[in-house]
Amino acid sequence: MPDGKKHVQHWMTTTYMYVMELPPPPNPGTQTSSYQWLSKYNDGLLQDIVLFLGNQQSMIDQYKQNEAAKCVGNIYKQIEYRTVFIETFLEAN
């Protein structure tokens, strides 16, 4: 192989792995600089989503309801949810 190693493939062997999903860390305190940075970044993502939805308030409200139900106020989950939404939206267009 190009990396200089010999790789052996075994046929008819199946390996199953189980990966435990870890919950996101709790929100940092609201007075910490990390929370303020995360909050500003999160707000920027929401502003992008509002632009993508064409400032249609009914669609924005529906998005916020779905996000609130899924993320339960965790800022890390919100950032992930918003990022995935933006990526999916851009792929569809």
Tokens coding 61: 């409200």
Which tokens in the block code for residue 91?
Answer: 């792929």
Q: Which residue has the higher pLDDT, 28 or 21?
A: 28
Residues contacting 1, CB < 8 A, separation 6+:
7
Q: Please give the helix or strand (H or E) that residue 59 lies within, else none.
A: helix 57-71
The structural domains of the chain, with segments of one domain joined by +, span: 33-92
Are residues 60 and 67 in contact, defined by beta-carbon separation less than 8 angstroms? Answer: no
Identify the residue whose tokens are 């800022």: 75
**What confidence tier does 56 reach under pLDDT thresholds 50, 70, 90?**
very high
- Kindly report the pTM of this predicted structure: 0.73
Q: Residue 70 CA to chain centroid, in angstroms?
A: 11
